[in-house]
Structure 1
Amino acid sequence: MREAVRDYLKQLQDQICKDLEVADDKGKFKEDLWEHETGGGGRSRVISKGRVIEKGGVNYSEVSGKVTDSLKSLLKLSGDQEYFATGVSIVLHPENPYVPIIHMNVRYFELSDGQCWFGGGTDLTPHYVEPKQAKLFHERMKAACDASAPEFYPAFKKWADEYFYIRHRHEARGIGGIFYDYLRPNQVIPQTGTTHNREELFQFMQNVGNAFSPVYMEMIQHNHSKAYTSEEKKWQLIRRGRYAEFNLVWDRGTRFGLESNGRIESILMSLPPQANWEYNLEPKEGTREYETLQYLRSPIDWIE
């Protein structure tokens, strides 16, 4: 399984980078190969100053080593063990405020005692929430889930709504998507009440990974050429600030990367190239900025 997952994730990184370069038609990915101090390494690929993508990363990693005390605490483990972790992580910050930020992560974790689990998900962060676009995104995520189990979408959509929430702001990071973690083969998933073997969970990982390019290419096609004002660009930078706050304060992936002594440039590639913070910002009622914040106050069922 370790080899099969590794091969799939490398292929997924290659395909998504190829798709994004075609869609951007200007920016090219720069690749950095790196090694982890305890074993393994990765391929970090960053694109910047493109026609569509102002900054983005599509990273692959596979690291191994001894489970440290801090990791034991983070993962609620006991005893001395070795771990193997691999995954693809993507964050894209577009140039145009009408193209949404998107994030995806699919990962596999294995311990020397035989325990293993899958995690991941994908979510959308529009600078301006457009209901039709939100509905389309959630329909695609539901289709990816339904191909494995009909219980997955409602459970993992709820999990995403809870996870991608900026608690200190009392608002969602974006319009959500799906999120899941600690899906263990042949063990009941508490959120769904179902069990799935390792091959089924690996197939679900592929469903999620393969859904990324088609839906985001469609988002780019519909939005990248829209005209925007300096005020709309200013709002984009404010929303990027919110995105940075979540990733630095609440994101588990960032914490895991830091706790495992991961490569800092790869861990923080999720941060935008520029972001703004404006004191006590209160958009005027009736504006699109105000409307967007209302959409982020509480979870929404985008698929009726």
Structure 2
Amino acid sequence: MNHLIQASVKVDKDSILQTFKNIQDDICQKIELLDGSARFHEDQWDRPGGGGGRARVIENGQVFEKGGVNFSHVYGALPETMSAGLNLPSGHEFLATGVSIIMHPVNPYVPIIHMNVRYFEMSNGDKWFGGGIDLTPIYIDEQQADYFHRSIKHLCDQHDSNYYPTFKEWADRYFYIKHRQETRGIGGIFFDRLRVDENTTIEKLFDFVKDVGDSFVPIYSQLVEENQHKTYGEAEKEWQYVRRSRYAEFNLIYDRGTKFGLDTNGRIESIFMSLPPQAKWLYNYQVQPGSMEARTLSLLKKDVDWIKE
């Protein structure tokens, strides 16, 4: 793809920044084609402490009720809360950049999807990559879950056979809504603080992170195409709103990206871009035994092996 860096090009913060911008451009273009009617609106923003970003939001489309593809590049003094979390004395500088994506479809049968890739660099020389991709179906289709996880595993195996089992387990534990005792969806992969060591180089790590970014549209397009024309009624929409409320709860209570954005005085509209346009918190909501909704709830567990032989 046009945003891939050739092996001969040095991997540094400038090349990472440009690649992330290109990933954002590429995904936005393809999401617009996938939707067929809506277009992204861009807001460029500046952070008072240093840096800024490009927030791009798509709304009221044929396929996507709301979605965002955000690029950010922020830097400056490391906040005290983050210094404490990293067990560092105050006074350090940081740089963080990444692309974050969330899509909330119109049709309840099209799953919510989230993806992000990011890079963090400290003034003490420490640097690492993070990211992941995960799926939140409103109605779990086990065959489609198999496809999603099989695709992610294939991506990981091209880089390291340990990546998928390690990062899949990490996702199961990270995307867990403790107060509900259920996972946010069917997971995927989640990784953080991938550093250079004796077994890998920054080029290899960056190649993996780029491939995660490149995987988003090809994987998601198939799920959209398989589900976007399925018929639904008020009951399915209400269930979608209930499941969206769980998504919002996770993002507001547990999500590291939300906390990072708030701790670093990021742009509030960009931070909360991930929230759905509509959701419902119905008192003591109960699903009907034997229903598709009950089936989905029964599968929102950790450590499910979604790949079937």
TM over 0.5: yes
| 2:8 alignment partner in structure 1 | none
- Aligned mate of 1:175, from 186, 191, 203: 186
| 1:186 alignment partner in structure 2 | 197
| Mapping of residues 14-25 of structure 1, within 5 Å | 14-25=25-36
| 1:214 alignment partner in structure 2 | 218
Q: Any idea what the Cα deviations from partners look like across 1:40-60, whole Å, max 9, x if unmatched?
A: 110000000000000000000
- Using the TM superposition, give the Cα deviation of residue 201 of structure 1 relative to its aligned residue in structure 2, in angstroms: 0.7
Q: Is the 8 A contact 1:106 1:121 kept in 2?
A: yes
CA distance in 1 between counterparts of 2:252 and 2:31 reads: 26
| 2:131 alignment partner in structure 1 | 120
| 1:283 alignment partner in structure 2 | 287
What TM-score comes out, normalization by structure 1 length? 0.96
Question: Secondary structure in 2 aligned to 1:93?
Answer: strand
CA distance in 1 between counterparts of 2:302 and 2:161 reads: 24
Structure 1 moving runs of 4+ over 3 Å: none
**Aligned amino acid, residue 44 of structure 2:** L
Q: Any idea what the Cα deviations from partners look like across 1:70-119, whole Å, max 9, x if unmatched?
A: 12123332242111100000010000000000000100000111110100
CA distance in 1 between counterparts of 2:200 and 2:283 reads: 48
Task: Show structure 2 runs of 5+ residues with no match.
Answer: 1-11
Q: Any idea what the Cα deviations from partners look like across 1:171-202, whole Å, max 9, x if unmatched?
A: 00000000000111116xxxxxxx32111111
What TM-score comes out, normalization by structure 2 length? 0.94
Equivalent pairs counted in the alignment come to: 297
| Mapping of residues 176-255 of structure 1, within 5 Å | 176-186=187-197, 195-255=199-259
| 1:192 alignment partner in structure 2 | none
CA distance in 1 between counterparts of 2:287 and 2:306 reads: 24
Identical-pair percentage: 53
**Aligned amino acid, residue 16 of structure 2:** V
Q: Is the 8 A contact 1:146 1:153 kept in 2?
A: yes
Moved more, 55-64 or 75-84: 75-84
CA distance in 2 between counterparts of 1:168 and 1:228 reads: 30
Task: Show structure 1 runs of 5+ residues with no match.
Answer: 188-194
Q: Kindly report the root-mean-square deviation, in angstroms, between the aligned alpha carbons of the 2 structures.
A: 1.0
Question: Secondary structure in 2 aligned to 1:226?
Answer: coil
| 1:8 alignment partner in structure 2 | 19
1:103 matched to 2:114: yes
- Using the TM superposition, give the Cα deviation of residue 7 of structure 1 relative to its aligned residue in structure 2, in angstroms: 1.1
Q: Is the 8 A contact 1:90 1:103 kept in 2?
A: yes
CA distance in 2 between counterparts of 1:77 and 1:94 reads: 41
CA distance in 2 between counterparts of 1:197 and 1:260 reads: 29
Moved more, 195-204 or 205-214: 195-204
